[in-house]
A and B are shown apart, each in its own frame.
Chain A
Amino acid sequence: MISAELAIPLALFLPLAGFIAIWLIGEKSPNLREAATLVTGAILFSLAVIVFAAVAGGARPDFELIEVIDGLPIAFQAEPLGAMFAVIASGLWIVNSVYSIGYMRGHGEEHQTRFYMCFAVAISAAMGVAFAANLFTLFIFYEVLTLSTFPLVTHYGDAKARNGGRIYLGVLMATSIGLLLPAIVWTYAITGTTDFVAGGIMAAHSEAVAPIAGVLMGLYAFGIGKAALMPVHPWLPNAMVAPTPVSAFLHAVAVVKAGVFSILKVAVYIFGVDFLHETGAGTPYMWIAGGSILLASAIAMNKDNLKARLAYSTVSQLSYVTLGAMLATQMGVMGGAMQIAAHALGKMTLFMCAGAIYVAHHKSLVSELRGLGRVMPFTFGAFFLGAMSIVGLPPMAGSWPKFFLMLGAADAGQLAIIAVLMISSILNVIYLLSIPVQAFYMKPAEDGAKPQGAENASIQWGNLKEAPILCLAPPMVTAAGAFLLFFFADPLYEFLTPLIGGQ
């Protein structure tokens, strides 16, 4: 058994070994190349689980790579939030790799070697973000994650991809260098450290920090562009030019979760929930997050392209985590943390279903999906479960974060935020749950004809036209995961308790 101390550096370097293996094998043997990805993924997941188990036992395994500048090491330390993120990211990477194989081959895509290589670097960077022991380290891996995903976004290399890639890289780099980096250096200049410390590092320097706490929090909230808080969200819809596995894993799990994860880390371990509460530094951004939730949902409703609709839904759902952090209450933080896990499972399901539909029927518009449920019942069944989780209906995992966020909002005395959460769920019902419902119950739209309402033709095995099994099974697995997580909310709560100051 590998010790948790060793598991952290291994988790960082293993994907890079996988990267080299994928590179060396290349197009010579696609099967061997994909095996390299899957083996790396499996080992990585077990490493993340080892760390997770150690953290659950109360340990805080750490590892220091190198001291770059005096007092600023590239160092790692696992804590509950990071361990959870690492397990989710590495676990879903395996699922997504299986799905990628089905999708990329089903599509006959080019540059598949580059595709898997970039994925390996991205997952390594995600591990770095998850285990970072200080802001300095976090920033380094945050940027690596941005750069390594750029070739994935511009995978097709055409004018559309170029344009999307330009906005993707432009917004993410501009926010991180323009706002996040000065925020980190400013923090360092005031406190003399960038370490993540339970209870935060700001409280000890409250005299210096208090006058600028609101500004500093703003630099973090918008500087962490990956959290897609409006108005720094445009990179996310533009990233949808990428192949669907990229959207499913990176732009529903690894990249965006790295963003909201960083926001939570800053709120909990840099500012500290109590300090944030006392200064009220998060309040303006709480309202911006609330506005972001509603506005993005409203935009999503008007998107006919399925991936674009899911992208705006992601923008909306990410702001739940930001909202939880900015509420500056224990339950808010807990809700935000759980949302990271629940939304990852739910949204990835939806994206993979969207990709499966595209592979099987080459349909990408919501209006084209009517009646399709009867030929793809498994896909749309998974879609239905995923959408339920996003909306927050029991018995799906997504209901718990909403519950805790509402508790948090009540603790903070922000009743309007509860209203925001309720309205958002209703909007989600309209623009997400309606898709599988229409797919199952409505007649396929003929050219120019209006939908005719319910039709009674039953689902028959002979009529089924599902995507290849490698594209079909992964969304069903994640949908099942979202279902199961509902019943394991209590262990997860226990695991995350140290985050809010409990034992």
Chain B
Amino acid sequence: MNLIAQLPVLPIIIPIVAAPITLLLPKGRVPHLWACLFSWLTFAACIALFAEVSSTGPISYHLGDWAPPIGIEYYIDLANALVLLLVSGIAAVVFPYAYRSVQLEVDERQTPLFYGALLICMTGLLGVTITGDAFNVFVFLEISSLSGYALIAMGARRDRRALTAAFNYLVMGTIGATFFVIGLGLLYQATGTLNMADLADRLIGQDNRMVEAGFAFILVGMGLKLAMFPMHLWLPNAYTYAPSAVTAFMAATATKVAVYVIIRFIFSVFNFDFAFIGAAFTYVLLPLGLAGMFVASFVALFQEDVKRMLAYSSVAQIGYMLLGLSFATVEGLTATLVHIFNHALMKGALFMAVGCVVLRAGSHSIYAFAGLSKRMPVTTWAFLISGLSLIGVPLTVGFISKWYLLQAAFEAGHWYAGFLIVASSLIALAYVGRVAEVMLLREPAEDGKYAMPKEEAPLSMLIPMWVLVAANIYFGVRTDLTGGIAQRAAETLMSMAGGAP
């Protein structure tokens, strides 16, 4: 057996074997090191896979040598290779970061459980991305979600509200998953297959109510998972009360993977011959994307809690992704893929910076950020740079995202959407600016609840955070990997769906 031939399965096999073993390890440092090691191995496998796909084209891997459509197929093209790279890359920086943060925020007896669950969550997200089998998407989705509920609930040590947040997410997430599987059931009824490529073949010409209902169920189910406005209500609490490392990881990956699933289903399973796809763009994704951009940004503006503010900002940013998608052009799809990648970088870095503040100040309230530039300058700068990226200032990834989105909007003739995009960025300017002002120009609290020592976060947190900050700048200047690959991926997806190239 040759390892290269088995490459496509490695990103799943490595963590899924490592995760249960984590549970057997003694509490403390060991599970962390173990999980770090395997997250890096997984990242390495994903890099290799990405390199392979970008040089030789899409890979189809048959699990256990069972030929599709009977067996499960892993199908990797540029679009999901990019998402795989993203998820495993974020994991590779969050795992080292987690140690000190988890030490503070999670019960020590639970550390093996915590790292095991985080590995499983990562596996689930990678599985959802890699698979070419529709039912397999559901299975991996539940793997990642169930471990996600547990991870969020572990924030209960610091704040009991994590329990209700996790429960809320559990209910909403399960409804979403149920809808998704009902949709799959309807498609199965219509076609008799669950393999995506096979589904796409057999769906041709089946423009009937059952297929339409199937698509609707899938869209709503995934809409819940990706926190599409107004189905986002689980997200702010879940992100706010989860342990910092979990928030950083999930905000950067979980919703992005769900957006990817929608893209995959729209372009690779359904296609533009179905009238309801066009309707979904015009009447669902476009208005909900725009509404999310504004409503969630406005709500973010009035949050006293920085973590919750960033959570609402995530809902708004998902609006951008849906908006780009709704243009139904190569440029729009490129913009969405680029933003999936870029937003993960900025939100990951921002939530990590909040985690550093929580470590020292014990709070993520905006009052804890007062005078932060005098107490934790390195963290402050990380927050500022990623905050500028969130606004879309040049030389950061946020600017690249904005540029692609605006270009797509103007070229698709939706010039009004172009102005709405920048208008909503201005709200981001206001809420990031508010925190920036507090950090730079307020005096730190000398005593009371928010007093904190003049002490930087430990290097084990600063280095991973700054790796992401550096990525924010690097990919803000070099777009070969993001823009270039995303464009090629978008062209492929678009031609699969039979849209105008």
Chain A residues with CB under 8 Å of chain B are: 66, 68-70, 72, 74, 139-140, 143-144, 147, 151, 154, 157, 161-162, 165-166, 169-170, 173-174, 177-179, 181-182, 185-186, 188-190
Q: Are A186 and B415 in contact, with the CB atoms below 8 A?
A: yes
Bound form: Cα–Cα A165–B433 in Å: 11
Q: Are A181 and B406 in contact, with the CB atoms below 8 A?
A: yes
Distance in Å: Cβ of B332 to nearest Cβ of chain A = 13
Q: Are B411 and A189 in contact, with the CB atoms below 8 A?
A: yes
How many interface contacts (CB-CB < 8 Å) are there between A and B? 79
Which B residue's beta carbon lies closest to that of A186?
B410
- Which among A162, A170, A182 is the interface contact of B419 at CB below 8 angstroms? A182
Give every chain A residue within 8 A of B430 (Cβ-Cβ). Answer: 170
- Which among A68, A170, A182, A185 is the interface contact of B479 at CB below 8 angstroms? A68
* B473-492 vs A, Cβ < 8 Å mask (1 yes, 0 no): 00001110001100000000
Q: Are A174 and B394 in contact, with the CB atoms below 8 A?
A: no
Distance in Å: Cβ of A129 to nearest Cβ of chain B = 12
- Which among B391, B415, B483 is the interface contact of A177 at CB below 8 angstroms? B391
Q: Are A185 and B394 in contact, with the CB atoms below 8 A?
A: no
Query: DSSP class of A's interface residues: helix, strand, loop or mixed?
Result: helix
Given known A69-B479, A181-B422, A186-B418, contact A161–B395 (CB-CB < 8 A): no
Given known A169-B433, A186-B415, contact A143–B410 (CB-CB < 8 A): no
Q: Are A178 and B407 in contact, with the CB atoms below 8 A?
A: no
- Which among B393, B418, B426, B441 is the interface contact of A174 at CB below 8 angstroms? B426
Residue in B394, B403, B429, B433 whose Cβ sees the most chain A Cβ within 10 Å: B394
- Which among B395, B410, B440, B483 is the interface contact of A189 at CB below 8 angstroms? B410
Give every chain A residue within 8 A of B419 (Cβ-Cβ). Answer: 178, 182
Is B159 among interface residues, defined by CB-CB distance under 8 A? Answer: no
Given known A166-B437, A185-B410, A185-B418, contact A68–B477 (CB-CB < 8 A): yes
Q: Are B422 and A177 in contact, with the CB atoms below 8 A?
A: yes
Knowing that A68-B479, A181-B422 touch, tell me 8 more A-B residue pairs with CB under 8 angstroms.
A70-B484, A154-B441, A173-B426, A174-B426, A177-B426, A185-B410, A186-B410, A186-B415
Q: Are A182 and B393 in contact, with the CB atoms below 8 A?
A: no
Is B402 among interface residues, defined by CB-CB distance under 8 A? Answer: yes
Q: Are A173 and B394 in contact, with the CB atoms below 8 A?
A: no
* B371-391 vs A, Cβ < 8 Å mask (1 yes, 0 no): 000000000000000001001
Bound form: Cα–Cα A147–B387 in Å: 13
Query: DSSP class of B's interface residues: helix, strand, loop or mixed?
Result: helix
Give every chain B residue within 8 A of A68 (Cβ-Cβ). Answer: 400, 477-479
Q: Are A139 and B477 in contact, with the CB atoms below 8 A?
A: no
Give every chain B residue within 8 A of A139 (Cβ-Cβ). Answer: 394
Is B392 among interface residues, defined by CB-CB distance under 8 A? Answer: yes
Bound form: Cα–Cα A140–B483 in Å: 18
Q: Are B402 and A181 in contact, with the CB atoms below 8 A?
A: yes
Distance in Å: Cβ of B395 to nearest Cβ of chain A = 6
Bound form: Cα–Cα A179–B422 in Å: 8
Q: Are A66 and B433 in contact, with the CB atoms below 8 A?
A: no
Given known A68-B479, A139-B394, A166-B433, contact A189–B422 (CB-CB < 8 A): no
Bound form: Cα–Cα A174–B402 in Å: 14
* B420-448 vs A, Cβ < 8 Å mask (1 yes, 0 no): 00110110011001000100110000000
